[in-house]
A and B are shown apart, each in its own frame.
Chain A
Amino acid sequence: NAGVTQTPKFQVLKTGQSMTLQCAQDMNHEYMSWYRQDPGMGLRLIHYSVGAGITDQGEVPNGYNVSRSTTEDFPLRLLSAAPSQTSVYFCASSGAGELFFGEGSRLTVL
């Protein structure tokens, strides 16, 4: 009963490095999204997808890329990491209304 799976759970990067946060869901949900959680700011939407081949920007998209080649996978790419991207990242999926979240990926950029 996996639900939404994120990897890695922890990552430390140096400024300027790139990396990809992986997200997979096994619920056959069309909608997937990425949020970042920062203290006092709740969860802010980075990018979302309403189905394979379709992605769009959320509230805070700068510095991040996404793609959706399959229904199951929705990776988030950091092109050139910056200290401002230090955060906890959550992937979520939804069939209708309620979002199911992964356990989160804690990223530190030095």
Chain B
Amino acid sequence: DQQVKQNSPSLSVQEGRISILNCDYTNSMFDYFLWYKKYPAEGPTFLISISSIKDKNEDGRFTVFLNKSAKHLSLHIVPSQPGDSAVYFCAASGEVEGNMLTFGGGTRLMVKP
């Protein structure tokens, strides 16, 4: 059973609007969450992270929100740009696992000009 789930396999957004990507997890021992971005024929690259002691982390156009009680996190991209079109993976780790990340299935974001 997947411990990290991204229930939307794809998302289409107009340029300039907000993109919201969602992620749910089941393991209450997870305390560190990351988002990775992946372009075709490239490896995933780190985008933004959040520790469980926070409920929000912002980096430029990217903001990650964490709701621990709901075991849910989301990535907001504002404003969305065509260059943001990629597959986004949510990942989680716990203090015990350290560097070992558990990934969700990914969401393909398409930003239309």
Contact = CB atoms under 8 A, between A and B. Distances in A.
Contacts, number: 58
A44 B45 contact: no
Given A40-B9, A43-B89, A58-B100, A98 B34 contact: yes
B49 A104 contact: no
B44 A101 contact: yes
Contacts of B62: none
B4 A42 contact: yes
A41 B3 CA distance: 11
Interface string A38-50: 0011111100101
A48 B100 CA distance: 8
Interface in B38-54: 41-46, 49
B107 to A, nearest CB: 10
A33 interface: yes
Interface string A67-99: 000000000000000000000001010101111
A56 to B, nearest CB: 9
Given A97-B32, A97-B49, A42 B100 contact: no
A75 B44 CA distance: 19
A4 interface: yes
B48 to A, nearest CB: 10
Interface residues of B, number: 24
A94 B44 contact: no
A90 B100 contact: no
Contact of B101 (A99, A103, A104): A99
A90 B43 contact: yes
A53 B66 CA distance: 37
Interface in A12-68: 31, 33, 35, 40-45, 48, 50, 58
Nearest to A43: B103
A42 B101 CA distance: 11
Interface of A: 4, 31, 33, 35, 40-45, 48, 50, 58, 90, 92, 94, 96-104
